[in-house]
Structure 1
Amino acid sequence: MTFPERYSSLPEYAFPRLRSLLDAHTPGGEVTHMTIGEPQHPFPEWVPQVIAQHTEEFGKYPPNEGSPELLAAITDWLKRRYGVQLDPTKQVMALNGTREGLFNTLIALCPEQTARGEKPVVLIPNPFYQVYAVAAVTVGAEPVFLPATAETSFLPDYSQVSPDILNRTEIAYICSPSNPQGAVADRDYWANLIALAEKYDFQIFADECYSEIYRDTPPVGALEIASEGGADPERVVSFHSLSKRSNLPGLRSGFVAGGPQSIQRVRQLRAYAGAPLPLPLQRVAEKAWADEAHVAENRALYQEKYAMADEIFAGIDGYKGPDAGFFLWLPVDDDETAAMKLWIKTGVRVLPGAYLSRDVNNQNPGKGYIRVAMVAPKQEMQRGLIQLRDCLFK
């Protein structure tokens, strides 16, 4: 039997790799999980009631693109949040989690070759959410990894990409607020990236799943800046999720928004290969996008956690609290050694940064960092952060 080789060069995924590193060793104390970005704050109390009110709809096939009510709730939210008016029948589609969308949208929109007949390029921040790379490999594109380091304010500098690469670029992924560093693209950053995409005629895939978790100022959005600048409506494709915003990672509900031609192609592919969200869960998503009270409460809890982390790590060389999102990106001498030491000495479990990055020219921009998820209840998180500080930084 012959198997495909397209995925043979993929490294082991981050969490199995972490288990291989740590699980043969006994934890040095009560286990504190700070690896996975799985929100632990309470989800809205009305979720079970909404599901119960619509249980009969489990007996119906759900619409692939999302119910009209859900799509209207999504476009209403985009209008309130970013001042952008999109057509719910043509410019948005519900997703069974944004990971699905980030993968399948590339399949739907990345051409087999450039207009010049060359192999297409997909630009990817480094470190990054790993689905970007596997999507690029799936469509036969060349992934080009751009370092997102302290020197670039933890966002990739697309202006430094050579013209020959930009001429082959079809898609550029960008995550803002970024995972894992918590950096936020400002208006100038988005405007410059969109101008570059207009000049070289590529699309921007804006992963904005952490947009509602921030310190002070709501992050601007890619669709917002594209609309203000009069960019091609197809230029930006934006992805959002209820996992972080509403503490509903198990709902598997998000959406993709963009130009009508792009969304039509994504809908066409999904009609054949999609896994639509069950209708009772779409009803939950509909209410979640319409309600901001629970989002504000959730954000306030994270803002308390930012302040707690800032106090615990005050004076630690190289510490920078995130501008948004819920990860700490902490510099260490060696990320695997630090994760191992922390586990054996304290039972606190964190992720080596190199597991979220790729080696490029023998450099891995995640090496020398650990990612720490601030998702646990406050007291548990405080205990874990103090143990981490005392173990690795004192």
Structure 2
Amino acid sequence: MIVHQRYRLLILFTLLIAIFPIEIIGEETGSLDQSITEKQEEIDELDQETERISEELVRMNVDLLEKDKELGQIQQDIDKAEREISETEQEIEQLNDEMQELENRIEKREEIMGNRLRAMQQNDSNWGYIEVLLSAEGFLDFISKYTAVSTIIEQDQNIYQAQEDDLKDLAHIKEEISEQQNQLEQQLIDLEEDNENLAEQIDEMEQAEIRLEQELETNQLTLEQLEIEQEQLEKERQEEQQLALLSQEEPNNDRSRENNTAQGDSRRPSNAPAGNTDSTFIWPTIGGVITSYQGPRWGSFHKGIDIARPDDYSILAADGGIVTFSGWINGYGNTIEIDHQNGYTTQYAHLESKHVNVGQQVNQGDVIGIMGTTGRSTGIHLDFEVYYNGELLNPIDVLP
């Protein structure tokens, strides 16, 4: 019934072609070609932009890695400076203890010297070392007093010298502590400033990276949509070309079409080689040509045969059996598998639509679907495969 309806539509289309010049189809095809070309230019331009963004993202990732390393090094320097400051603080505590000891010694010396001066003032403010020597009553007394005076003078000199040295050391220690503190504090300030600046740079780069990733995602979505539109345009062009070919052929009437369906030879593609005369199968298409045989193709192995440009798009069950699969397979598109209950299994791929369901019993010659171009396909055709007990066969060897 479906076949009859398709031929009525074909007759109507032929009448329309007779009324309207066939150049209309050519004009529409030319318009589609122009649209496909423009769409491809958009895709190419978007591909280039996407590649540019991807390369920029790669460079940015490299720069971010370097910045992260710098940030890590600065953080290590900060940690080191903080440790040195802590160690310096401990040294400062020790220096403070030393300063306290010096201050105590200086204070004791000042006390001794103060006591001596007070004693001299109490006895006689004008009393001095010369008077002590001149008051000697004899040579031995002079020697004794001279020795005492020399000892006192030496002690005073030592006291003054020690006092002067300690005061210098104290001043040096204070200066050293102040310098160390200032250097470490300035180093820490510089490191923290570098750390802050580098963190800001990294943040800006990460924000730029996010924007590029968003732009890349938008481009990819746009690219996918353009590819879908281009695929639809390609499909429309193929349909237009197919209709143009069909319009040039003289359609047969319904009776002759039914007779062709009942005769195996009329179903054979025009370029099909001599087949198996004892075959129980029929050809799964109504006419057409074989565009690809089983064997190596495009770097892989083509398991079946491709049949295109049939007299009718209907796909027929090569033999009776049970439908074991009716769905989508990546690469194959819409696919139907039939188990013929005798060890043989046939597969029909790239269908535009499927007319049977899993578990359904079909008879030889039943229309199970319509030829199409779903999956990875370069045009409207049928990919037909045959298996026996799971082993792949060459369809040409088992078809009539």
TM over 0.5: no
Find the structure with the greater CA-based Rg: 2
Scaled by the length of structure 1, the TM-score of the pair is 0.19
Q: Which has the higher contact order (CA 8 A, sep 6+)?
A: 1
Scaled by the length of structure 2, the TM-score of the pair is 0.19
Name the structure with the higher helix share.
Answer: 2
